[in-house]
Amino acid sequence: MADHCPYLSKLASLNSEKTHGGTANKSVAEERLVQLLEGQTVPVQMGNLPTVPPPWYNPVKFQRGQEFARRHFAGISLAHFVSLITMLTSPQILKPLIFTQKSETVLKSFKRYIGTVVHVTAWYFGDVWQKDHPARRSIQMVRSMHDHASTQMNHPERRRQVDNTAMADCGQPFDDPSMLASLQMDAQKLAGCPYVGLRRQPASNDQEEPYVYFNQFDMADSQFAFVGVLVLFPHKFGATYASDDDLSGFIHFWRCIGYLLGIEDRFNFCDGDNLDLTRDLCRHYLDKMIKPAFKDASVEFEHMARAVAKGASLYYPGVSFESLFAYYANVVGLPAANFIHHMSYSQWFYYLYLRLVFSVLCWIPGVIRVFSGMTQFSIGLVVARSSTAGWWPKSWKPPQVGGLDVFWTLKPRAEGLKNSQTNLALNGA
Ligand code: HEM
């Protein structure tokens, strides 16, 4: 097959160089990236959850990762949001999201992503290894959603439709002035990268094999969105005093979540659990895959990213696409002078607010806990039954979303949780 498909031949040549020692100067991170890219032709394992933890599961590390996430909940939520927005530059992630028609308007995006926030929070607070625990049911539910979407999108009759999703499928365009030209102008200052060309394009006609939606690489790409900027820049997301053990635990946690969502070990972004190697991979991935992708940011990207931010503004008042993007650019070192120049005063003010809180004030011990409590409170208003926080003025309450309160269990049952996670590891060993 590699003989016919230019994409696979190029990967094969990179691999053979690797095997024959022609890449002595290639870093381990580069080799890992090439390996991850091979996952583009391998579908994700769906269906039922594995019943035993993987042999490499380490309960102590896992809990350390959960505790780290709980302590820095506000910063971690911000990191997840900004990363989600940037992940939308990839057509491989964007097209499925446009196709499912669940996040292209403000209200739909609000419901869709509050769902994501609640599920991920359930994994941080709950016990994903314990049968019938809400956190485990949540993982099973997300697997089923992925399974359903994957079956739909990879169906021969629908695949073309997904490949060809465009602005016309995104509903009514938003009125806001477009920032795309400024964003692209800034991005032109970046060097291009050959690896970007190794990402398969859904609609490319020269492919022998049709594009596999929900492939192993897309999942690893999403894992980067959950761990990448936190591992590289914890101090920009309120985790000023994060220790190496905290970050290793966080990486291990996401390695386990990847496993539970059907990622094979060799394609798991967090495989190996090694903090230094994961950092190198994140840095490499950011420079080679994420940053250059902004050169080709599309109108669909801008629309869907705006929808994410506008939806989130219903429970994080003041947040906007512009302020989130500017913050991301500031953290990762993306050129954004034109972009920032075209922001309104209120967007600029919110951007400075994010910098002040998460990069400066969180140096003061305890501040991140206050902001984490506030973040949990505002999400709780959306998720919990209407009687919750009855004293809170009704006119200040965001719209509520039903069906999520079963997963919104913010009190980790410390001892029970530890015991069950440890026992399962022992059983699985
Ligand atoms: C580490 C990887 C991933 C995690 C942790 C994750 C997490 C989630 C969560 C929590 C939900 C439930 C949202 C809700 O309740 O509405 C969800 C749904 C969904 N995810 Fe993922 N996801 C991952 C990878 C992906 C990838 C790679 C794609 C696309 C290629 C994708 C596309 C979807 C779709 C289509 C849904 C159903 C809801 C919709 O149509 O928007 N996910 N995911």
Looking at residue 53, what is its pLDDT? 94
SS3 labels along the chain: CCCCCHHHHHHHHHHHHHHCCCCCCCCHHHHHHHHHHHHHHCECCCCCCCCCCCCCCCHHHHHHHHHHHHHCHHHHHHHHHHHHHHHCCCHHHHHHHHHCCCCCCHHHHHHHHHHHHHHHHHHHHCCCCCCCCHHHHHHHHHHHHHHHHHHHHCCHHHHHHHHCCCHHHHCCCCCCCCCHHHHHHHHCCCCCCHHHHHCCCCCCCCCCCCCCCCEHHHHHHHHHHHHHHHHHCHHHCCCCCCCHHHHHHHHHHHHHHHHHCCCCHHHCCCCCCCHHHHHHHHHHHHHHHHHHHHHHCCHHHHHHHHHHHHHHCCCCCCCCHHHHHHHHHHHHCCCCHHHHHCCCHHHHHHHHHHHHHHHHHHHCCCHHHHHHHHHHHHHHHHHCCCCCCCCCCHHHCCCCCCCCCCCCCCCCCHHHHHHHHHHHHHHHC
Instruction: Give pLDDT tens digits along the chain (429 positions).
Output: 444 544 445 445 444 444 444 443 358 898 999 999 999 999 998 878 888 899 999 999 999 999 999 999 999 999 999 999 999 999 889 999 999 999 999 999 999 999 999 999 999 999 999 999 999 999 999 999 999 999 999 998 888 889 889 888 898 899 999 999 999 999 988 876 666 666 777 665 555 677 889 999 999 999 999 999 999 999 999 999 999 999 999 999 999 999 999 999 999 999 988 899 999 999 999 998 999 999 989 999 999 999 999 999 999 999 999 999 999 999 999 999 999 999 999 999 999 999 999 999 999 999 999 999 999 999 999 987 666 677 877 777 888 888 898 898 876 654 455 555 555 543 443
Q: Among 116, 121, 148, 230, which residue has the most ligand 1 atoms within 8 Å of its CB, making it the best to mutate? A: 116
**Predicted structure pTM score:** 0.90
State which ligand 1 atom lies nearest to the alpha carbon of 225: 1
| 218 Cβ inside 6 Å of ligand 1 | yes
| 372 Cβ inside 6 Å of ligand 1 | no
Looking at residue 194, what is its pLDDT? 63
134 C-alpha to ligand 1 centroid (Å): 18
146 C-alpha to ligand 1 centroid (Å): 6
142 C-alpha to ligand 1 centroid (Å): 7
| 119 Cβ inside 6 Å of ligand 1 | yes
| 116 Cβ inside 6 Å of ligand 1 | yes
Looking at residue 96, what is its pLDDT? 93
Looking at residue 11, what is its pLDDT? 47
Looking at residue 15, what is its pLDDT? 46
